[in-house]
Structure 1
Amino acid sequence: MNTLIGTYECKADAKGRLMLPVALKKQLSSSMQTGFVLKRAVFQPCLELYPMKEWEELMQKVNKLNRFKKKNNDFIRRFTAGVKPIELDASGRLLVPKDLVGFANITKEVVVSSAVNIIEIWDKKLYEKAIDDAADDFAELAEEVMGQDDADGIS
């Protein structure tokens, strides 16, 4: 698994293209040949950019769901709604399709943020609001999620 690092501000043009920051492109260099998948986030009004290898690993897990259970079938349909294969153009820009621009309310100011093995793409104002909203509860959340003494030895 590729662990990505960094949060960057960039600009989207009128056609929905954005230039990925050089530092991020370097981290994603092994994924440039195989491309990416861009999708709607599940919990936030942002987009998620998966390197193809990460997407394929996730789809192997999703494919194990029993599709004869309505809940599973509904999940698969909603999770994959709006999914698009993406490649960077010759100038190193990422073209965000119009329907996904609309979903994430992307305007000119964009934040591209690493989220372990994927990239989140946010409208800057929505990103700042999400960070501000989470700040009050973050200490409690961190303790609940990471403060457990479990077998993995995470501390």
Structure 2
Amino acid sequence: MSKIDKDTVITDQKLRQFVGYTMKRAFLTVREDLATVLEPLGLRMTSFSALAIIHENPDISQSRLAEALYIERSGVVVLVDELESADLIERGRVEGDRRQYALRTTEAGEAKWQEAERAVQAHEDALLRDLTPEERSTLRALLRRVRRR
């Protein structure tokens, strides 16, 4: 048996027949490009997502944030600490429950969200420039249907 040398093109045609593989490859492209867009803003994909959820749901608890982001509660603590250290969110006490915090964006967090939302929208516009508005809508609808499965 001979090994494939470094100049041989490696194919993945067998994997390309699977939707999951194609979705994964597309996601990796999106993630890599998005990281480049968010880095100058001091955000990562997870911190951007958390900021979006907190912005849209003022006074959300850390447990509900973890649930919304599909991450472990321990992971959300680190994320909340990061956003709070950057003065993008604040933790408030929940009346009647001393163990929980209500999360909301600060004024700086609101401004950062607006800036990041514009940057991510521009990122998606560039990434999906070859798709018509109808195709983009169809793509989102199809992905939502797969997710609901």
Q: TM exceeds 0.5?
A: no
Q: Larger relative CO (CA 8 A, sep 6+): 1 or 2?
A: 1
TM-score (norm 1): 0.29
Larger CA Rg, structure 1 vs 2: 2
